[in-house]
Amino acid sequence: MTNLDKFKNSIAQTSDAPMGLEISHAEGPYLYTTNGKRYVDFISGIAVSSLGHRHPKVIEGIKEQINKHLHVMVYGEFVQKPQLKFAELLTSILPNKLDQVYFVNSGTEANEGALKLAKKHTGRSKLVAFKNSYHGDTHGSLSVTGRDVYRDPYLPLLPDVHFLEFNSFEGLEDVIDDKTAAVILEPIQGEGGIIPSDEKWLKEIRERCNDSGALLIYDEIQSGFGRTGKMFAFEHYGIAPDILCLAKAMSGGMPMGAFVASKEIFEAFMYNPPLNHVTTFGGHPVSCAAALANLNELLSGDYLEKAKLIEKKSKEKLKGKGILEVRGKGAMLGLQLESKELTQKVVKQCFSLGILLGWTLHSETLIRLAPPLIIEEDLLNDVLTVIMMSIEQHS
C-alpha cells in the first residue's frame, strides 16, 4: 500500500480527489515531493506563507522559543514574553482604537471570537453579513458565510443573521439598525472571487454602524500582513473597523489567529461572568515567537513594494483571449477566465509543469494568484509566462 493509499485510509478526507502530493520539504517559494519533483507554490499555502516556506528569521524565532518553553497555561493567565512582544508590535502599527489583541489558533476562531465579543459588548444578537462571503466552517463563522451550498447541509445555524449584496447600497439603512450587534465583511472578498470593496460603500457601512451602535468587523484572515500591498487591506480605504480578525500569514506557517479591538470593547470578556471566552492553546508561545519574527521581517523589508510589483506584472502579462479580467490588489489576485473547461485545463497543465495554482471555493472560472512576497522577479515572470502560454494553448 502506497503512502497515498494510507493517507486516504487514515486521514479524514474533504474531497474525493485530493492533490495527493507527498511533500518531502519546502524552502522559499518551492515545495519538493518525495519523488524529486519541485513545485512553485504560487498560492503560498493558501495565503499563509507570504515570506515563503521556512523563512530563516521565522525558523530562528521558533528555535529560540522551543529552547525556553512550550505551552505553560491556558490563555490570559501567565505573562509570556512572545505573546506580549508580538501584541505590542502588532497594535503599534494599527489605529489607536485597536489596542488589545486576543490570540486564538485559526481564522475561523478569530471570527467566532469577534462575533461573540460584539454580541456581549452590545447586548444585541442581530448580525449582518454579505452574500458570497467566506468566514470559516465552524457553526458561528459558517452562519455569517454567504454561500448556501456550504450552509444548507448544517442548518439550522445561528438565528438573526441577515445577508446583503456585497458592494450594494440597497438595504444598508434598513438592515443595519439599533438591534444589530455587528456587521462582518471582508474588505476584499477572497473565496467569493477576489472582489475589492467599493470605498463609498465601505464608508456608508462605517457610518451606519456609527449611527446604530453596531460594531464593524473586518475579516482580514486572507488579506492581512502585506498581501495586498498595504499591511492590512483596510488601509487602502482609510476606514478602520471596531474589530479586526487576522490569521493565515500572521505567523509564518505556524497555526495562529487573532482578533483585535479596543480595551473598552474587550472588557465584555472579563465580567458577567469572568472567563466567558477562553482558549487552551490560543497564543501558543511558539506561534507567537514565529509571528513576532514574521512581522519584524515584513516591516523591515520591501515586501509591500513586491506585492505591488506582483500586481503590476500580473495585470500586464495576463491579457488576451480567454481572459476576462485580473482583479484584486497586490498579491491577492483573481484570474477570471471565460469558462470552467479552460480553467480546469490551465490549472491542470500548470500543475504538470510544476506550478501550483488554486481555484476559489465559490467560482469555477477564477484562478487564485497569491505568490509569496519573497518571489524573485525572474521566477515571477517565468510563472506568468507559463500561465499565459497555457491559456493561449487551450483557448
pLDDT digit string, tens, across residues 289-304: 999 999 999 999 999 9
And the C-alpha cell for 168? 450594494
Three-state SS for 271-283 is: CCCCCCCCCCCCC
The answer to whether residue 205 scores a pLDDT higher than 80 is yes
The answer to whether residue 331 scores a pLDDT higher than 90 is yes
The count of other CB atoms within 10 Å of the CB of residue 173 is 13
Which of the residue ranges 15-19, 137-141, 209-213, 238-242 would you say has the lowest mean pLDDT?
15-19
Percent of the residues in the chain that have a pLDDT greater than 90, as a whole number: 94
> What value does the mean pLDDT of the chain take?
96
Q: What domains are there in the chain, each with its CATH number?
A: 3-54+302-394 (3.90.1150.10), 57-300 (3.40.640.10)
Question: pTM of the prediction?
Answer: 0.97
pLDDT at 361: 61
pLDDT digits (tens, 9 = 90+) for 39-70: 999 999 999 999 999 999 999 999 999 999 99
In angstroms, the Cα distances linking 259 to 34, 149, 235, 315, 332 are 38, 27, 17, 33, 21
The sign of the CA dihedral 281, 145, 226, 88 is negative
